[in-house]
């Protein structure tokens, strides 16, 4: 595993604040029965934040036909839906909700070319809320496979997320399973496939980025 390159500043801030709080506790809390549990909580928080910003090593299963999950989490939507922003048509939507304890690094779901990328400022509803897909701060990345199939995915900020990182640039070639960005704190990914795709997951399934096949393109 390695630390996400865009998260070093965030993690450094966590360490600095934690060190200051720990120093204040040592100076002003004189009861060892209270001090040590608080210091353990601070240490646990630092470890959790370090793991949160790590990019795990995975064995990618995605190809130009097999679409792998962009993120770790739980499937909260797996149904036909109308996508109004880029596709402007009906598609199969699979949404993956990430909680605080899931790895938040994101990975390209399919090999191909970036056709379009756009950032949308917005609100910060909790990511499992149905309105979050369109009204929250989010990005849209449209990919095209060598066979001409289009796959769209959205990185959606949640109630606490305040930064979305995406490496997409129109025209760039991408490989399924390589890191494409990160969303900081609780958030969601919406992925849209053609209607004739063979969807391999259902609502409630737990999925892993790179290693879970969401659908096979025809």
Residues of the chain above pLDDT 90, percent: 68
Half-sphere exposure of 80 (CA within 13 A, CB side): 5
Backbone phi and psi for residue 17, each to the nearest 5 degrees, phi listed first? -60, -40
Residues 6+ apart with CB under 8 A from 98: 71, 72, 73, 104, 127, 158, 183, 186, 187, 188, 189
Torsion angles phi and psi, residue 106, rounded to 5: -115, 150
Give the E-state strand segments of 41-178 in sequence order: 54-55, 66-68, 73-83, 89-98, 105-107, 112-120, 138-144, 150-157, 164-166, 173-174
Cβ contact 104:91 at 8 Å: no
Rg (CA), the chain: 19
pLDDT in tens, 146-195: 999 999 999 998 765 567 889 999 999 999 999 999 887 668 899 999 99
Non-local CB neighbours of 5 within 8 Å, separated by 6+ positions: none
Q: Which amino acids are annotated catalytic? A: 187
- What pLDDT was estimated at residue 162? 60
Q: d(Cα 18, Cα 3) in Å, to the nearest integer?
A: 19
Query: What is the pLDDT, as a whole number, of residue 65?
Result: 96
In sequence order, which ranges of the chain are alpha helices (DSSP H)? Answer: 8-28, 32-52, 132-135
Q: Residue 80 — pLDDT band, cuts 50, 70, 90?
A: very high
Average model confidence (pLDDT) across the chain? 90
Closest CA to 71 of 103, 40, 46: 103
Model's pTM, two decimal places? 0.84
Tell me how far apart the alpha carbons of residues 25 and 19 are, in angstroms, rounded to a whole number.
Answer: 10
170 near 35, Cβ under 8 Å?
A: no
Residue with tokens 């959606």: 156
Residue in the block written with tokens 């865009």: 6
pLDDT in tens, 88-137: 999 999 999 988 778 889 999 999 999 999 999 877 666 556 655 667 88
Between 211 and 157, name the one with better pLDDT: 211
């Amino acid at each position: 595993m390695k630390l996400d390159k865009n998260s070093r500043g965030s993690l450094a801030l966590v360490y600095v604040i934690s060190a200051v709080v720990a120093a204040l506790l040592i100076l002003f809390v004189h009861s060892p029965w209270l001090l040590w549990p608080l210091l353990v909580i601070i240490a646990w928080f630092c470890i959790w934040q370090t793991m949160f910003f790590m990019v795990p090593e995975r064995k990618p299963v995605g190809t130009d036909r097999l679409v792998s999950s962009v993120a770790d989490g739980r499937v909260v939507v797996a149904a036909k839906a109308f996508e109004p922003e880029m596709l402007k048509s009906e598609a199969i939507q699979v949404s993956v909700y990430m909680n605080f304890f899931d790895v938040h690094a994101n990975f390209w779901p399919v090999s191909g070319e970036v056709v379009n990328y756009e950032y949308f400022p917005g609100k910060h509803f909790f990511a499992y809320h149905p309105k979050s897909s369109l009204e929250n701060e989010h990005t849209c990345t449209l990919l095209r496979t060598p066979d001409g199939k289009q796959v769209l995915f959205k990185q959606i900020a949640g109630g606490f997320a305040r930064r979305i990182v995406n490496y997409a640039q129109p025209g760039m070639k991408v490989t399924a399973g390589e890191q494409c960005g990160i969303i900081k704190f609780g958030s969601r990914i919406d992925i849209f496939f053609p209607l004739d795709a063979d969807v391999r997951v259902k609502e409630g399934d737990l999925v892993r980025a790179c290693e879970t096949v969401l659908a096979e393109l025809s």
